[in-house]
Structure 1
């Protein structure tokens, strides 16, 4: 990700945070706008082109979305269009990020935890993963699967997020989409996710100690998402963002085999 996009995303994060009370419909408004922008290369280029004046971009947004979106959604889109992006396609990244953060801020529900649950459900069901991730499956079919699977079982915000992800995957696999969304919504709530994989379920005391230790190490509140994988034999694999701490027996045995073979 280019430096211009990184700064634009930071500005978008701040803009959502400054809204205070976030309307429940704001995330869906942003996701809908993202689909429109994503479907039009000409519109995307016009909104992301630094040579186009902000007043022209504002007028364009008003002409397309003025009667369809709330003032809060238009204001966020205006800020995103005014930002500088490393690539024109990164504007879609910004709209999605603003939508994810708005969703997390508009509810007391544990959106990040719900997304992790959906990711685990998809990871454990090959047919479901194919139904949601196949490029050959019509978008309408994917949306129908999401709504039948999740409506009434998770918050409306989580349903809206997953529905958006299958509509605009931008080349990403469904598992990657869900993990990224979980990380962004967690960050919007002020904590980071540590994905901990172990051969057997962790006890409550173990989880608490590990959470406290990682929080102290990273200097920020962390929440553990636990995954059980018997193939690891023993030990733990911890992933926090791009950091991976692999202390599993399986990885040690693999390293030993490579050393002996080398």
Structure 2
């Protein structure tokens, strides 16, 4: 995303935050705004001329705001309307940046609602585990990624699978994500989980272990990583028998490989 779009996103985020702060029930308003912004994006994704008109820098900011108000006032909540009006009044590098940013703001609004309900950690963990489940089930991943079927079909499939098993916010985030996939589902859910962790002001450590880790082992690993990185760390663990022994830890772009497979790879490399 170019500088112009980053600045535009910051202005739209400020408008959303202000609207939610002013609401009498900010938790309900945040949840509603998240769902409403997703609905706005569905409309814009389906209508390219409209999407282009709202992001057209050659038109005045006032005309774009007025168009957004005519389109969405009374159809979605006031918090979403104010956010969209603020967004379209900015200059975006591309129409796609506008819609992608509205998606991000919708996600942030839902995560704010989760935070208000003390569910943010739960949502983060559910999203990560959902991504791992999908990554381990090629048939499910293919079904969710099938672009020959309407996006609603993927959403309905996931809704059926998740019914009663996750929080409402996790379900809303997941269904929106599979309905607008731009990458592998598992990667999208990893990004959503990381977004939740960022809101909790935590670093995220993705751990692949050759065996199941006990609660005590996870606690000790978390404490060690927090000492290394100097901030709170949330640890997500998945079992990978191919490692032979030990574990691999990824934090951001840094990888700590303490696995048997990793040591064997290093040995083979040194022998060449």
**What is the TM-score with the length of structure 1 in the denominator?**
0.89
1:248 and 2:265 correspond = no
Residue in structure 1 matched with residue 82 of structure 2 by the alignment: 75
Residue in structure 1 matched with residue 102 of structure 2 by the alignment: 95
Equivalent runs, 1:66-215 vs 2, <5 Å: 66-107=73-114, 108=117, 109=119, 110-169=122-181, 171-215=182-226
Q: Distance in 2 between matches of 1:122 and 1:37?
A: 28
Residue in structure 2 matched with residue 26 of structure 1 by the alignment: 33
Alignment root-mean-square deviation, CA: 2.2
Task: Give how far 1:154 is off.
Answer: 0.9
Work out whether residues 245 and 259 of structure 2, in 8 Å CA contact, stay in contact via their aligned partners in 1. yes
Q: Which runs of 5+ in 2 are unaligned?
A: none
Q: Distance in 2 between matches of 1:222 and 1:164?
A: 27
Give the 3 Å change call, closer, same or farther, for CA 31–236 of structure 1 in structure 2: same
Give the 3 Å change call, closer, same or farther, for CA 217–11 of structure 1 in structure 2: farther
Q: Which runs of 5+ in 1 are unaligned?
A: none
Work out whether residues 107 and 173 of structure 2, in 8 Å CA contact, stay in contact via their aligned partners in 1. yes
Residue in structure 1 matched with residue 5 of structure 2 by the alignment: 5
Task: Give how far 1:112 is off.
Answer: 1.3
Q: Distance in 1 between matches of 2:266 and 2:8?
A: 41
Query: How many residue pairs align between the two structures?
Result: 260
Residue in structure 1 matched with residue 245 of structure 2 by the alignment: 234
Work out whether residues 12 and 84 of structure 2, in 8 Å CA contact, stay in contact via their aligned partners in 1. no
